[in-house]
C-alpha cells in the first residue's frame, strides 16, 4: 500500500514537472513568436514624418534634389558652426563645452533627371585645438525615380537627426560624429512617410582586432488626421546599434542595443496671431540590451515621454516630462539614460522635467541662425542642470557655368 502511494506521489510530481516544463517551453515559444511577429510588423510599417520630440529643425545640410538640373555641374559648401555648453552635475553626464566648425565642400553633378552624384570632403575642426577632429571623403549617390521615393548610397541624409527623439539620439552627433554612410531609403506622401537607413560605422576584414559596428533605424509615421490646420499622427521609431562580426579576432560575443518607440503626435496651426502652432507629443520607449550579469544585469528597460510645445514668432517653448526605468541606448543623450556608459552603477528609476527654449531665424535660403536653451530638473535626486547651444548653419551652391549666380539648395 505504502509503495503504491509512493509510486503515485512520484508519478504526480513527475506529471507536475512535465506540465510545468511544457508551460515554460510554450511561454518561451510564444516569446520567440512575438519577437518575430514584432519584427515582421515593424518591417511592414516601414512603408508608412514625425516632428514631435525633436526641436532641432535647423539641423539641415543635405542637398535637396533638383530633377530639372540634368547636365548641370555645381560646386557646393555645407557649413555648421556650433557652440554648445553643458553644465551637468549628474554623475552620468559630463560637464563640458564643445565649439568648432564643420566644413563640407563638394562637387555635384546630375547625369540624369533621376540621378545625382556628389564628391567632396568632410572636415571637423574644434576651436582651441591645432589638430583636426575628423577629415574624411564625402561621396553620395542619390537616385529618385519619383517625387516620393529616394534611394541613397554612400553618405546619408541625416537632416534633423532623422527626426529621432533626444532620448534615442544625441543631437550633438549631427556635427560631432563621423558622417553617416551606408544605405538609405525614403518615402514621403501626405498620409504616410518613412526613413529607413543603415549607417555602417566600422567595417572589418578577416583578422581585424575589433568588431564591426553599424546603426540602423526605421522611422515610419502614419497621419491619422490632417484637416483645417490640425494634424494627428502615429509615429513609430525603431532604432538600434549592433557590434559583432565573425571574421574579426576581437573577443566577446555580439551585442545589439535596440529601442522601439511608438508615440502619438498632435499639432494645431494657429494663424493671424503671434502664436504659430501648438504641439502635444507622447511616446513609450522599450530598450533592450545584451545581458552579461556584470554591467547589464537585466536585458531591458523602458521610458515614458510627454511634452507640449508652443511655437511663436519669438521662438518655441517646450515643457516635457521623462521617466526612465533601467532605460539605456548608447547613442542617446546621456542625461536621459539610466546607465552612465561606464562602470557598473545603474539608476533604477530616473525622472526629468525638461524646459526648452529654441529659436531659429532664416538669414537667407538654407542659412539659419539658431539658439537652444535646456533646463533639466531631476525630480528624484533634486538636481538641476542646464545646457546652451548657439548655431550658424550655412549651405549654398554655385553653378560652375555661371559663377556669379548662386543656386541655393
Q: Is 356 left (phi over 0), alpha (psi -120 to 50) or beta?
A: beta
Q: Are residues 274 and 232 in the same domain?
A: yes
Q: Are residues 36 and 141 in the same domain?
A: no
d(CA 12, CA 19): 10
Number of DSSP helices (H) and strands (E) in the chain, helices first = 2, 17
Mean pLDDT over the full length of the chain: 85
Q: Which residue has the cell 560631432?
A: 176
Predicted local distance difference test score (pLDDT) of residue 399 = 80
Q: Which residue has the cell 514621403?
A: 188
We report the CATH number of the domain holding residue 336 as 2.40.160
d(CA 125, CA 103): 8
Contacts of 2 (CB under 8 A, 6+ apart): none
Q: Are residues 92 and 5 in the same domain?
A: no
Instruction: Please indicate, yes or no, if residue 407 is contained in any of the structural domains.
Output: no
Q: Is 145 helix (H, G, I), strand (E, B) or coil?
A: coil
d(CA 76, CA 59): 17
Q: Are residues 84 and 215 in the same domain?
A: yes
Q: Is 379 helix (H, G, I), strand (E, B) or coil?
A: coil
Q: Are residues 5 and 116 in the same domain?
A: no
Helix (H) or strand (E) holding 175: helix 173-176
Instruction: Please indicate, yes or no, if residue 125 is contained in any of the structural domains.
Output: yes
Specify whether the CB–CB gap between 396 and 366 falls below 8 A. yes
**Torsion angles phi and psi, residue 124, rounded to 5:** -120, 125
Q: Are residues 15 and 108 in the same domain?
A: no
Instruction: Please indicate, yes or no, if residue 404 is contained in any of the structural domains.
Output: no
Predicted local distance difference test score (pLDDT) of residue 30 = 40
Instruction: Please indicate, yes or no, if residue 30 is contained in any of the structural domains.
Output: yes
Q: Is 314 left (phi over 0), alpha (psi -120 to 50) or beta?
A: alpha
Q: Are residues 181 and 329 in the same domain?
A: yes
Predicted local distance difference test score (pLDDT) of residue 23 = 46
Q: Are residues 4 and 153 in the same domain?
A: no
Q: Are residues 18 and 154 in the same domain?
A: no
267: containing domain: 49-399
**Torsion angles phi and psi, residue 234, rounded to 5:** -115, 95
Q: Which residues of the chain have pLDDT under 50?
A: 1-11, 13-52, 402-408
Predicted local distance difference test score (pLDDT) of residue 345 = 82
End-to-end Cα separation, the chain, in angstroms: 93
Instruction: Please indicate, yes or no, if residue 405 is contained in any of the structural domains.
Output: no
CA 203 vs CA 103, 182, 215, 245: distances in Å: 25, 11, 12, 9
**Torsion angles phi and psi, residue 43, rounded to 5:** -65, -35
Q: Are residues 8 and 37 in the same domain?
A: yes
Instruction: Please indicate, yes or no, if residue 383 is contained in any of the structural domains.
Output: yes
Q: Are residues 33 and 98 in the same domain?
A: no
Instruction: Please indicate, yes or no, if residue 361 is contained in any of the structural domains.
Output: yes
d(CA 357, CA 373): 5
Count structural domains, the chain: 2
Q: Is 355 helix (H, G, I), strand (E, B) or coil?
A: strand
Using the CB atoms, write b or e for 171-192: b if 16+ within 10 Å.
bbbbbbbebbbbebbbbeeeeb
Instruction: Please indicate, yes or no, if residue 114 is contained in any of the structural domains.
Output: yes
Specify whether the CB–CB gap between 376 and 352 falls below 8 A. yes
Q: Are residues 25 and 91 in the same domain?
A: no
Amino acid at each position: 500500500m505504502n509503495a503504491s502511494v509512493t509510486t503515485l506521489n512520484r508519478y504526480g510530481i513527475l506529471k507536475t514537472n512535465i506540465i510545468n516544463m511544457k508551460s515554460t517551453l510554450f511561454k518561451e515559444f510564444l516569446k520567440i513568436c512575438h519577437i518575430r511577429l514584432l519584427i515582421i510588423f515593424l518591417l511592414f510599417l516601414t512603408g508608412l514624418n514625425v516632428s514631435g520630440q525633436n526641436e532641432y529643425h535647423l539641423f539641415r545640410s543635405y542637398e535637396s534634389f533638383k530633377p530639372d538640373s540634368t547636365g548641370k555641374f555645381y560646386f557646393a559648401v555645407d557649413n555648421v558652426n556650433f557652440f554648445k555648453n553643458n553644465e551637468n552635475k549628474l554623475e552620468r553626464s559630463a560637464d563640458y563645452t564643445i565649439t568648432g566648425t564643420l566644413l563640407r565642400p563638394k562637387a555635384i553633378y546630375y547625369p540624369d533627371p533621376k540621378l545625382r552624384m556628389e564628391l567632396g570632403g568632410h572636415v571637423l575642426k574644434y576651436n582651441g585645438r591645432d589638430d583636426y577632429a575628423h577629415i574624411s571623403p564625402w561621396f553620395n549617390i542619390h537616385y529618385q525615380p519619383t517625387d516620393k521615393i529616394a534611394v541613397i548610397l554612400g553618405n546619408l541624409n541625416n537632416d534633423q537627426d532623422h527626426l529621432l527623439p533626444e532620448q534615442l539620439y544625441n543631437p550633438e552627433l549631427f556635427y560631432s560624429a563621423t558622417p553617416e554612410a551606408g544605405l538609405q531609403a525614403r518615402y514621403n506622401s501626405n498620409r504616410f512617410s518613412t526613413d529607413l537607413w543603415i549607417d555602417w560605422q566600422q567595417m572589418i576584414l578577416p583578422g581585424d582586432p575589433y568588431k564591426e559596428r553599424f546603426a540602423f533605424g526605421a522611422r515610419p509615421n502614419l497621419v491619422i488626421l490632417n484637416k483645417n490646420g490640425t494634424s494627428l499622427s502615429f509615429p513609430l521609431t525603431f532604432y538600434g546599434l549592433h557590434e559583432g562580426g565573425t571574421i574579426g579576432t576581437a573577443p566577446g560575443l555580439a551585442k545589439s542595443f535596440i529601442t522601439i518607440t511608438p508615440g502619438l503626435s498632435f499639432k494645431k496651426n494657429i494663424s493671424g496671431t503671434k502664436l504659430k502652432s501648438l504641439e502635444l507629443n507622447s511616446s513609450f520607449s522599450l530598450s533592450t540590451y545584451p545581458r552579461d550579469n556584470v554591467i547589464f544585469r537585466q536585458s531591458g528597460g523602458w521610458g515614458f515621454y510627454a511634452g507640449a510645445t508652443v511655437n511663436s514668432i519669438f521662438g518655441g517653448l517646450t515643457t516635457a516630462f521623462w521617466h526612465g526605468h533601467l532605460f539605456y541606448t548608447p547613442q542617446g543623450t546621456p542625461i536621459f539614460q539610466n546607465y552612465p556608459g561606464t562602470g557598473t552603477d545603474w539608476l533604477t528609476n530616473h525622472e526629468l522635467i525638461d524646459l526648452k527654449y529654441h529659436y531659429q531665424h532664416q538669414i537667407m535660403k538654407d542659412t539659419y541662425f539658431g539658439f537652444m536653451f535646456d533646463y533639466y530638473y531631476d525630480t528624484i535626486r533634486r538636481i538641476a542642470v542646464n545646457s546652451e547651444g548657439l548655431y550658424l548653419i550655412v549651405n549654398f551652391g554655385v553653378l560652375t557655368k555661371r559663377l556669379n549666380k548662386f543656386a541655393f539648395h
